[in-house]
Amino acid sequence: IGVGLVGFGLFFILFGVLLYFDSVLLAFGNILFLSGLVFIIGFRRTFTFFFQRPKLKGTSFFFGGVLIVLMRWPLLGMLLEGYGFVTLFR
């Protein structure tokens, strides 16, 4: 279930970007991606991964970007998410 949710999440994010940053598709993709991540590695491991002391900057940018996309500012939100994603997985 988790791999399917992550796959659909990435598909909706890609499709939202291809359709000139459609905010509904991007928001739906973000929600599916995060819920799939929780299904794959579990809630506790997801929480400890995102909220480690050295990764708090990346986490804040990533979740801030998700929040901005949900508030219908897709371009700015995706830029923040991208920076947060790169900072998290550096």
72/70 Cα distance (integer angstroms): 5
Q: Say yes or no: 45 and 60 in one domain.
A: no
Q: Which range marks the domain in which residue 83 is found?
A: 54-89
In the chain, the number of structural domains is 2
Amino acid identity at 15: F
Residues 29/9, Cβ–Cβ less than 8 Å: yes
What does the pLDDT average to over 26-46? 96
Q: Say yes or no: 47 and 4 in one domain.
A: yes
Query: Hey, what are 45's tokens?
Result: 């491991």
Model confidence over 50-88: pLDDT tens digits? 999 999 999 999 999 999 999 999 999 999 999 999 999
Q: Say yes or no: 35 and 1 in one domain.
A: yes
Q: Say yes or no: 26 and 5 in one domain.
A: yes
Q: Say yes or no: 62 and 46 in one domain.
A: no
Whole-prediction pTM: 0.90
